[in-house]
Amino acid sequence: NAGVTQTPKFQVLKTGQSMTLQCAQDMNHNSMYWYRQDPGMGLRLIYYSASEGTTDKGEVPNGYNVSRLNKREFSLRLESAAPSQTSVYFCASSEYPPSGYSGLTNEKLFFGSGTQLSVL
C-alpha cells in the first residue's frame, strides 16, 4: 500500500510565486492534516480536515489555504510565497480525528514523506 503520498518532494520558489502541495491517501481515512516542520520548532499544524467537506485552521494558518478535494485528497496552497514559508511540509491522515465526532479514541496519524520547500 502507498499510504500517504505527497508531491512534489522538493520545490524552490521565488518570493511572491504561488504553488499547491498535493496529498493523497489510499487508506480510506476520514481525517487529513498539513503540518510544517522547522528546526527547533517541531511540527506545527497548519490546517486540518476532520472529515470530508470540512476544513479548519490549525496553529499557523496565515499565508495558506487548503482544499479537501474528496475523501482521498487534501491540498495545501501558498498564494504568495514568502521566505518565512521555507520549511518541510508533511501531510498526514487518520481514520478518525484523535478523539472527536465518532467518540472513538486512539487514532494514530500516518505521515507522508514530506515536501522540502525553499522560498528565495
Partner 1 sequence: SQQGEEDPQALSIQEGENATMNCSYKTSINNLQWYRQNSGRGLVHLILIRSNEREKHSGRLRVTLDTSKKSSSLLITASRAADTASYFCATDNLWQGGSEKLVFGKGTKLTVNP
**Residue 94 and residue 32: Cα distance in Å, rounded?**
6
User: Which helix H or strand E contains 63, and what residues bound it?
Assistant: none
| CB closer to partner 1 out of 58 and 63 | 58
3-class DSSP assignment, residue 113 = coil
Closest CB 79 distance from partner 1, rounded Å = 23
- Binding partner 1 (rule: CB under 8 A), the pick from 20, 84, 105, 118 is 105
Residue among 71, 60, 10 nearest 34 (CA): 60
Cβ proximity to partner 1, 62 vs 106, nearer residue: 106
Residue 84's φ and ψ, nearest 5 degrees, are -65, -10
When asked if residue 108 is in the footprint of partner 1 (CB under 8 A), the reply is yes
The residue among 56 and 79 lying less far from partner 1, judged by its C-beta, is: 56
From 21, 112, 117, 119, residue interacting with partner 1 (rule: CB under 8 A)? 112
Stretch that binds partner 1, among 14-22, 65-73, 74-82, 108-116 (CB under 8 A): 108-116
Q: Write down the least CB distance from residue 15 to partner 1, Å.
A: 26
Identity of the residue numbered 105: T
Residues 54, 70 contacting (CB under 8 angstroms) = no
The grid coordinates of residue 43 equal 511540527
- The reply on whether position 26 binds partner 1 by CB under 8 A is no
